[in-house]
Each structure stands twice: as C-alpha cells, then as structure tokens.
Amino acid sequence: MKLKLHWQIVIALAFGLLIGFMSRGLGFESFMIDRVSILGTIFLRGLRMVIVPMIVSSIISGVTSIGTAQNLGRMGLKTFAYYVTTSLLAIITGLIMVNLIQPGVGAQVGLQATPEGIAANAAKIGETLLGIIPTNPLEAMVNGDILPTIFFSLLFGFFITQSPDPYKTQLTDLFSGIFEVMMKLTHFIIKFTPIGVFALMAKTIAQTGFDVILPLAAYMVTVILSLGIHAIVTLPALLYLAGLSPLKHAKAMSSALLTAFSTSSSSATLPLTMESVEKNAGASNKTSSFVLPLGATINMDGTALYECVAAMFIAQAYGVDLTFGQQALVVLTALLASIGAAGIPMAGFVMITVILGAVGLPLEGVGMILAVDRILDMMRTCVNVWSDSSGTVIIAKSEKETGLQVLRDVST
Ligand code: ASP
C-alpha cells in the first residue's frame, strides 16, 4: 500500500533532521547547504510557478460559481459580510497570539534581513494600498503582483456573471477548465513535498543545528492555539448568537471536518460539506449552493489566521520589529492572501510570499516553516470548512429557513 503523503512528509522531516545533524558532526554541512538545498529551491520554485494562474482561475471560477445575478442581492451581501468579518476575526486572533507568544523572537535561525531593505519597504505602505488597483492588470500578473491580480480577478469574475449568454457560459466554462488544470498541476507538484521538506530541513539544521526546533515548535503551538480559539470560541459564539447550537452543528459536520483534516483541501471536501450542511444540518440547497462553493475558495478563516502568524513569525525570526502600520498591512494582505488561496493543499503556504513581499521581508523566510506546514494545513483546512458551514447555517437562519436541524432550543 502506498504511504499517505502526510506520513511521507513526517518521514522526510525526520530524515532531514537526522542528515542535517549528522552533516554538522561529520563535517559535510556545506554540501547540504550548497548542494542538497537546491532540491528545496526547485520545489519552492515549482510552487511559486502556479501562484498567478491558480489565483486568477480560482477566484474567477469561484465568483462565477455563484451563478445568476439575482443571487447577488441580499444574500450576496450577507455572505460577503460573513466572509470578511470571520476572516478578520481569525486574523486578529492570530495577530494577538503571535504578539503574546512571540515564537520567533530571539530565534537563532541564521536569518538576516537588511535593515535598509525593510525600511525602504516600510515607507511604501500607502503605495501598496493604492497598488491594489492595477493600472495594467496583465502587467500585475506578469510581475507576480498578487494583490492587484486578486482585485482584478474578483471584478472580472463578478462581471462575467453580469454578462449575457453565450459569453457568460463560455467564460465560466473556460475559467473552470483552467482552474481544474491548475489544481491537477498543483497536486502534481505537491507530490514532491517530501523531497522539498527533506532538503530544506536538512539545510536548516546543517546551518543552525537544533536551534531552529524550539522556535518552530513555538510557532506551531501559536498557530494551533489561535486556530483553536477561532474554531472553539469565536465561531461557536456567532452560531450561538444566531440561535444555533454549535454542538449540534459540529456533530452534523463531523464527517466533512474529518475529510478536510485528512485531505487538506476545502475544494476536495466541498461535496461532503454540501451534503452534510443540507442533510444533517438542514440548510436549503439554495443557500448552501450559494455560500459553500464560493466559501471553499474565498472564505478561509484558518488560512487567513495562519498567513498572519506565519508572516509575523518570519518577521520575528529576522529580528524585524513591525510597526503598527506594517502589522495592519499584514492583516490586510493576510485577508487578501486567504481570498486568493485556492482550496487545495499548501495553497496558503504559497501565499505567504505575498505578505512577506508587502512588508519587505525576504521571501526565503518561507523555507523555514515548510517543514511543519502539512500538519498546520490539515488543521487550518478544518477551520476553513467549519467556518464555511457555520456561515451557511447562520445565513439560512437569517433567511428564516424552516428545515434547520441545528437550532439551539428546538422543542419539536
Ligand atoms: N489547504 C487549505 C484549504 O484547502 C488552503 C491552505 O493551504 O491554507 O482550505
């Protein structure tokens, strides 16, 4: 039987640790740092290769999946408000936790950023915000400027839904087709994760010894605790306030949540999420087919939170103190990055470079957190699906649907 990917990654991680450590003892660390690390670089380049086409096709196909323009009225607004509110709540939870725990501070991980580079970028916050509106969308895509690419794709997708047939159908099909191909391509690259993890871990350990382990563990704890707060406190509070029972809803969603955990993909889980929300939680197909497909690609609370913690952790590890303004920029870019990330494994990881770029941190910082990404991916995907499904029942309740089976105090 073939070993599951996450087990392969765990083994690669252990090997990376071992070989990296041995290389220090036996004096071949420069071989690991200069040569073997190339495998990691190849892997990261592969992931970055898919970013732009993935974002464009995922957003456009997500937005067009909401279908006809009639749908876009009241329910569209509610859905959008829910997405943005919960994602922001998640990010802020992460931001508070990462500032409290400070997992990266004092980490001796051999990372250095030039203060001039940071300062030069820090001055550009206003520009980054303005730059969200591209003067030339193709240029933005070609240069890999993610925020304007996301902005343009959202608009483009929206106006496809507003166009007459046959163009609407043609374009919807075209972008769904491209999205399908990009998901396959990304899955192909992800098969090589164990090699990337091995190479990057071995390199890091060869460079720094075990100094990296402690901060990395603290970083994982920070992400997991923050995800826990969002999933167990914040979202249930919203469900409760809406008159719904978080416990009943969690039970209704259990198989979808487990699938999200084991596949690390909201998109792959989507059919199950829809079935559970309709059959077990009792939301109507009208609401779930509106909220869930779009949510699977653009509403990612877990990913948004993780983006923020990861970027802040990398900043801390580089010894960079981000100002309030820069942290606000991290929050905003984390939100957009989570919107831009597709519902497939590691999409969130790839998007961290967007945030690092926005605040002027070196992109290589992501190499450090790759090793532990898969396990965090499983958890954040779970939170993503949990938020999508909670949003569906909250909106169904606000639309006065009668079939809901997860009400707080049903006496019937
Ligand atoms: N794997 C996540 C999802 O499918 C996205 C991410 O990588 O954060 O929801």
pLDDT in tens, 351-373: 888 788 877 888 777 877 887 88
> What average pLDDT does the segment 186-196 reach?
82
- C-alpha atoms less than 13 angstroms from C-alpha of 198 in its C-beta half-sphere: 15
Domain assignment of residue 405, yes or no: no
Domain assignment of residue 390, yes or no: yes
**Residue located via tokens 């954040």:** 380
Domain assignment of residue 283, yes or no: yes
The residue type found at 191 is K
Domain assignment of residue 116, yes or no: yes
Nearest Cα to Cα of residue 209 among 85, 391, 396, 32: 32
- The whole domain housing 297 covers 5-398
Total residues belonging to the chain: 412
Q: How many helices and strands, by DSSP H and E, does the chain display?
A: 21, 0
Domain assignment of residue 410, yes or no: no
More confident residue, 238 or 57: 238
**281 and 406 in contact (C-beta within 8 Å)?**
yes
DSSP state for residue 283 in the 8-state scheme:
-
**C-alpha span between 55 and 337 (Å, rounded):** 9
The pLDDT assigned to 240 comes to: 94
Domain assignment of residue 259, yes or no: yes
DSSP state for residue 27 in the 8-state scheme:
T
**Tens-digit pLDDT profile for residues 113-146:** 555 555 555 445 566 667 778 899 999 889 877 7
Mutation test residue for ligand 1: of 266, 355, 382, the one with most atoms within 8 Å of CB: 266
Ligand 1 centroid to Cα of residue 306, in Å, is: 10
The pLDDT assigned to 249 comes to: 94
Find out whether the beta carbon of 338 lies less than 6 Å from any atom of ligand 1. Answer: no
- C-alpha atoms less than 13 angstroms from C-alpha of 173 in its C-beta half-sphere: 6
- E strands of 109-256, at which residues? none
Q: How confident is the model at residue 389 (pLDDT cuts 50, 70, 90)?
A: very high
The pLDDT assigned to 123 comes to: 46
Mutation test residue for ligand 1: of 51, 182, 344, the one with most atoms within 8 Å of CB: 344
The pLDDT assigned to 1 comes to: 59
Domain assignment of residue 36, yes or no: yes
More confident residue, 249 or 129: 249
**In CATH, what number is assigned to the domain containing residue 187?**
1.10.3860.10
- E strands of 126-201, at which residues? none
Q: How confident is the model at residue 66 (pLDDT cuts 50, 70, 90)?
A: low
**C-alpha span between 287 and 95 (Å, rounded):** 32
SS3 244: strand
The pLDDT assigned to 412 comes to: 45
Domain assignment of residue 104, yes or no: yes
Number of domains in the chain: 1
Q: Of all residues in the chain, what percent carry a pLDDT higher than 90? A: 25
